[in-house]
Chains A and B, each alone.
Chain A
Amino acid sequence: MKKQDGNNVGSVTHHASRFTHRASRITGSDIAVKIENMRRTFGAFVAVDNISLEIKKGEIFGFLGPNGAGKSTTIRMLCGLLMPSGGSGTVGGLDIAKNPEGIKRIVGYMSQRFSLYDDLTVEENINFFSGVYNVPKEKKLERKEWVLDMAGIADRRGSLTRDLAGGFKQRLALGCAILHEPPILFLDEPTSGVDPVSRRNFWHLIDDMSQAGRTVFVTTHYMDEADYCDRLALIYRGRIIAEGTPSELRHEYMKRDVLELEVDRVVEAMDVLSKSGIDAAIFGSTLHITVESESTGRQQITAALEASGIKVKGCEKIVPSLEDVFVTLIEVS
C-alpha cells in the first residue's frame, strides 16, 4: 500500500485543482445528507456514538477510519438498512427513521462485499437490477449500454459475472447500484481488495459522478485515498475525531511537525526510540516521528539513536500525510 503513495501524490495534485475549482460552485444551502447525534448500539456495544455530519450536494465526502470504527454501520443507517438507536438524520431531505423506503429510491448503495449475482451473466445482472430499480422501459437499453461502457465490459456482456476480474466486477457493481441514476451515492469500501491500478481508475469514476452533480459518500480505510475527497471525516471507535478538507486536516489538526527519519535498522530504531519515550511509526523503509518542534525533536532523536549505535542517515521535516494525522489524532483521543 505504501508503495502506492508516491504514485497517488501525482494524481492528487491533478485532482486537487479540479476539486478547488468545483468547490466554489457548492453553496451552503443545499445539503444532501445531514445527521445529528446519530447513535447505534448492538447490545452493550456502541458502534456509532453520537455523530453529526453535514454533506453538501455534489460533494465527495470521505469517511475514513480503521476496520470496525463504525463506518459501515453509519452508511447502513443512511441507506435505510439499519435503524438508528438514537439521533436523527435526513438523506436528500427525507427522514431516516420515518421514510427509509423513500430514501431507497434516491440513493445508490454499493456494499463492502461484492453483491451481484455471481451465477448470472453481466447482462442478466444489469437487467435484474434495472427491473427492481424500476428503470423505465424506454430507458433500460440506454442505461444498460451505459453501464457496460462505463465498466468497460461491453464485449463480455454474456460472461458469467464470477468470471470477471476484480476491477471489472467492482465497476459493474457500481454500475448496477446507479442504474436508476440516484442523486446520492453511498459506497462502502468500494476499493477494498482491488489492485492499485483499478483503484485509481475507480476513483476517477467517482470523480466523474461528482462532476455530474451526484453526492458521493464513500468510506475507506486506505488513507492514501483520502486526497481524492472534497471533505473528510475521521471516525475512530464510533466517534468522529476530525473533519475538514484534506488540507485543513493536514494543517489545522497537525500543529506539530513530522520528521522522516532514515536509518539502517528501522525496527530496532523504533524500539530504541520508544524506550526513550518517543513514538515512531514505520513508513516503508523510514520512520515517521511526530514532534513538538523540528529542532529540539531532531536533537533528541539523534542523541537517543546514536547512544545505541544506530546511525542516522537523514532526518527531514515533511508535509504530514493523512496517515500521520490520523495516527496522531488517535494517540490524542
Chain B
Amino acid sequence: MFERIRHLIIKEFIQAFRDNRTVFLLFVTPLIQLFLFGYVATFDVNSISTAFYDLDRSYESRELARRLESSGYFAIKYRPESQQEIQDLVDRGHVLCAIQINRGFAKDLKRGTPTQIQVIVDGTDSNTAMIAMGYVNTVIAGYGKERMNSLIRAKLSKIEFRTRVWYNPDLKSRNYMVPGVIAVIIMLTCLLVTSMSVVRERELGTMEQIMVTPIRPIELMLGKTIPSAIIGFFDMSLVTVVGVFWFDVPIKGAFLFLFLCTAVYLLPILGIGLFISTISKTQQQAIMATFFFFQPSILLSGFATPIENMPDIFQYVTYLNPLRYFLVIVRGIFLKGVGINVLWPEVLALFVLGVTILILSALRFKKRMT
C-alpha cells in the first residue's frame, strides 16, 4: 500500500516540476500575493491631503494648522479662499478633508466660550473617512484641552487617557495582512492542486488506467492529497520566511506550533479539494468551482473585514468556514505569540470541521471511483 502511494506521490511531483505553469503557480504566485498584500493592501492612513480655510487668520488658527501637520496624519496642500473653492477641491478629489476656521475663533478661545470648527470629509471611502475624522478629533481635542488648562491655570482633578496598543503597537496593517496571506495562499494552492490533479487524470483517461491497477480509492486519495499538503507546507514556510525577513512582520509564537496548526487546517482544505474533484468533469470546471468557493470564504472569514460587523446570519455562516479559524490562529501566533492554551477552541473546531469534511468528501470520492 505504501509502495503504491509512494509511486503516486513521486509521479505527482515529476509532473508538477515538469510543467512550467504549475511551477509558477506553486512558487511565484504566493510571492506575488504576499508582495501585493504586504505593500499595496494597507488600511494605514497617513498624510491626508487637506484644505485649510482660515477665516480667522489668528495666531491660534495658525497654531492649529501647525499641529495638524506635525501630527503626520495631515498634509495641508491647499489654502482655499472661499466655500466654493472647498467644494471644488473635494469634488475633484484633490483633498480628502477640508477644515474651516470661522471668524472669532481666537476670540472665543480667549474668552472661554464654545467655538466651532467645520470639518468636511470625503465619505466616498467610508473606512478612510472614519479614520481621518478620528484623527481630526484627536488633534483638535488635544489642542482644546491644552488651551483650557492654560486658561484656567488651575490643577483640577482630571481623567487622562493613556492608550497603549498591544500586539501591533504601530498599528501596521501589514502585520495584520501578511499572516492572513498565509492562510489564503494555502487554501487557494491546495484546492487547485488537489482538484486539478484528479480531474486532469479523468480528462486525459489515465484515471481509468489507474483504476484497473490494484490501487484502492483510499490510496489514490492519499496519493493526491499528500503532494498538495507538502506544497501547502512549503508555501506556508515560504510566505512566513519572506514575511518575517523582508516585511519585518514579527512572529512571536512558535513556528512548530504554526506548522502543526497548518496540518490541521489542511484537513478541511484537502477535503474540499477532493469534493471539487468529484463535481468537476474538466479542469476548467475545477478552476471555476474553486473560485466559486474561494471568494465567499475570503469575505466570510474576517480576512479583511471584521466578522463582528456582519449581520448575525452571516456571522453564523462563518462558523462553517475553515479560513475563519485559521486566521485567528495565524494572527494569534504571529502577533500575540499565544499557543494552544489560548487557541485550542479554534484548533479543535478546525479539526472537527476538517475530519467531517474530509470523511464526507472521501466517501463521495470513493463512490465516484467505483
A residues touching B (Cβ–Cβ < 8 Å)? 79-81, 83, 100-101, 104-105, 107-109, 111, 113-120, 124, 127-129, 131-134, 176-177
Residue of B nearest to A176 (CB): B209
Taking a contact as CB atoms closer than 8 A, the residue among B4, B6, B205, B370 that contacts A115 in the complex is B205
Q: Which chain A residue has the least Cβ–Cβ distance from B4?
A: A132
Q: Is the CB of A115 within 8 A of B3?
A: no
In the complex, A109 Cα to B8 Cα: how many Å?
19
Q: Is the interface of B mostly helix, strand, loop or mixed?
A: helix
Q: Which residues of B contact A177 (CB under 8 A)?
A: 209
Q: Would you give the shortest CB distance from A2 to chain B, in whole angstroms?
A: 30
Instruction: Report the interface size for chain B: residues with CB under 8 A from the other chain.
Output: 24
Are B213 and A111 in contact (CB-based, < 8 A)? no
Q: Do the beta carbons of A111 and B208 come within 8 Å of each other?
A: yes
Most central of A108, A119, A132 by chain B CB within 10 Å: A132
A104 in contact with B214 (CB, 8 Å): yes
Per the bound structure, the CA–CA distance linking A134 and B212 in Å amounts to 13
CB distance from A144 to the nearest CB of B (A): 14
Residue from B4, B212, B370 having most chain A Cβ neighbours under 10 A: B212
Q: 7 A-B pairs, CB-CB below 8 angstroms?
A: A80-B212, A111-B208, A117-B15, A120-B14, A120-B15, A124-B14, A132-B4
Determine the distance from Cα of A164 to Cα of B36 in the docked complex, in whole angstroms: 43
User: Contacts of B336 on A, CB cut-off 8 Å?
Assistant: none
Q: Are A134 and B209 in contact (CB under 8 A)?
A: no
User: B204: which of A118, A129, A133 is its contact (CB, 8 Å)?
Assistant: A118
- What 7 A-B pairs come out closest when comparing CB atoms? A131-B7, A113-B205, A115-B209, A109-B212, A115-B205, A132-B213, A128-B11
Measured in the bound complex, the distance between the Cα atoms of B260 and A105 in whole Å is 38
Is the CB–CB distance between B4 and A134 below 8 Å? yes
In the assembled complex, the Cα of A328 lies from the Cα of B198 at a distance in Å of 45
Q: How far is the CA of A80 from the CA of B215 in the complex (A)?
A: 12
Q: For chain B residues 209-237, which have a beta carbon within 8 Å of chain A?
A: 209-216
Known contacts A105-B214, A132-B214, A134-B3, A116 near B10 by CB under 8 Å: no
In the bound complex, what is the Cα–Cα distance between A285 and B7 (angstroms)? Answer: 54
Q: Which residues of B contact A120 (CB under 8 A)?
A: 11, 14-15, 18
Given contacts A108-B212, A124-B14, 20 further A-B contacts (CB under 8 A): A81-B208, A81-B211, A81-B212, A101-B214, A101-B216, A104-B212, A114-B205, A115-B204, A115-B205, A115-B206, A115-B208, A116-B206, A118-B204, A120-B14, A120-B15, A128-B10, A131-B3, A131-B4, A131-B7, A132-B7
CA of A114 to CA of B209, assembled, Å: 9
**What residues of A have a CB within 8 angstroms of the CB of B215 in the complex?**
132
Determine if A131 and B6 form an interchain contact, defined as CB atoms under 8 angstroms apart.
yes
User: Which partner residue on chain A sits nearest B220 by CB separation?
Assistant: A132
Q: Chain A residues with Cβ under 8 A from B210's Cβ? A: 132
Closest Cβ–Cβ distance, residue A85 to chain B (whole Å): 15
CB distance from B227 to the nearest CB of A (A): 14
**In the bound complex, what is the Cα–Cα distance between A119 and B206 (angstroms)?**
12
Minimum Cβ distance to chain A for residue B276 (Å): 22
| A101 vs B4: C-alpha distance when bound (angstroms) | 15
A107 with B7: CB separation less than 8 A: no
Shortest C-beta distance, A310 to chain B (Å), equals 48
Determine the distance from Cα of A36 to Cα of B215 in the docked complex, in whole angstroms: 28
Check: B19 CB closer than 8 A to any chain A CB.
Answer: yes
CB pair A117 B206 closer than 8 Å: yes
The answer for the CA separation of A132 and B6 in the assembled complex, in Å, is 9
User: Which B residues are in CB contact (< 8 Å) with A119?
Assistant: 15, 18-19
Whether A124 lies near B11 (C-beta < 8 A) is yes
**Complex-state Cα separation, A124 to B7, whole angstroms:** 10
B213 lies within 8 A of A129 (CB): yes
The residue from A108, A111, A124 contacting B205, defined by CB atoms under 8 A apart: A111
Q: What residue in chain B is nearest A106 (Cβ atoms)? A: B214
- In the bound complex, CA of A62 to CA of B349 (Å): 58
Question: 1/0 contact trace for B3-26 toward A, CB 8 Å?
Answer: 110111011001100110000000
* CB–CB B216/A109 < 8 A: no
Complex Cα distance A114/B208, Å?
A: 11
